[in-house]
Amino acid sequence: MPSFDVVSKVQQNEVDNAFNQAEREIVQRFDFKDTQTELERTPEAVTIRSTSEDRAKAALVVLQDKLVKRKVSLRFFDPGKPEKTSKGGARIVVKIKEGIEVEKARAIVQAIKDAKLKVQAGIQEGQVRVTGKNRDDLQQAIQALRARDFGIELQFVNMRD
C-alpha cells in the first residue's frame, strides 16, 4: 500500500552554516564593535547575548538574514523576548522547533479527512503517516496539505509504493 510521511524537520547543516556566517559578520561589523555581542548554539536553541537590547535585536536580524539566504524557513525558529542579564546586558533565546506537535498533527489529519480523499492518516511520534490505495490519492492529499497553512513548515518524505 503506497504511503508517505508528513514531517517538519530543519536542515541542521544549513542552520550551522547560517550560524557561522552570522557569527563572522557580527565579529567584522563596525556597529557591533565593543558591544560584546556573541552567539551560542545548542541543538535546540540559539542564544544571543549583547551589552544592549538593540544590539541583541540587530544580531537576531543578522542571523535571520543568513538563515533566509541559506533557504531555511524562519517558521522553524521561535525568538523569545529580550531578557535583561545580571551585567546589564540583554539576551535573546531563539528556540528551534522540530517535529509536529500533537495539536498540529490532529489539524493535519482533520484536513485530510475534510478533503474526502480515499486515504488514511495516522499520527506517529512527531510525524503523520498517510496511506492510500493508489499514488494519485496520495498526491491529492499532498496538494490539499500544501493549500492550507498550519503555521509550521511541512515536508513530505518516504514516498513508498
What pLDDT sits at residue 98? 87
Same domain, 131 and 66: no
Q: Residue 63's pLDDT is what?
A: 92
Q: How many domains does the chain have?
A: 2
Which residue range(s) make up the domain with 116? 3-8+100-160
Q: Which helix (H) or strand (E) holds 62?
A: helix 53-69
Q: Which three cell numbers stand for residue 2?
A: 503506497
Report the alpha-carbon distance of residue 63 to residue 48 in Å, rounded.
Answer: 10
Give the global pTM.
0.82
CB atoms within 10 A of CB 75: 15
| DSSP code for 86 | T
Are 150 and 21 within 8 A, CB to CB? no
> Given this model, what pLDDT does residue 151 score?
86
Boundary-marking domain end, from 96, 120, 149 = 96
Domain final position from 96, 122, 146: 96
Question: Residues of the chain whose pLDDT is less than 50?
Answer: none
- Residue 160 has a pLDDT of 83
Task: Say what the pLDDT of residue 16 is.
Answer: 92
Give one DSSP letter per residue of 28-55, joined into a string.
Answer: H-GGGTTTT-EEEEETTEEEEEESSHHH
CA-CA distances (angstroms) from residue 158 to 47, 118, 124, 130?
33, 19, 14, 10
Alpha helix (H) residue ranges in 70-156: 102-114, 135-147
Boundary residue ending a domain (96, 113, 139): 96
Q: What is the pLDDT of residue 64?
A: 93
What pLDDT does residue 126 have?
A: 84
Question: In this structure, are 92 and 110 located in the same domain?
Answer: no
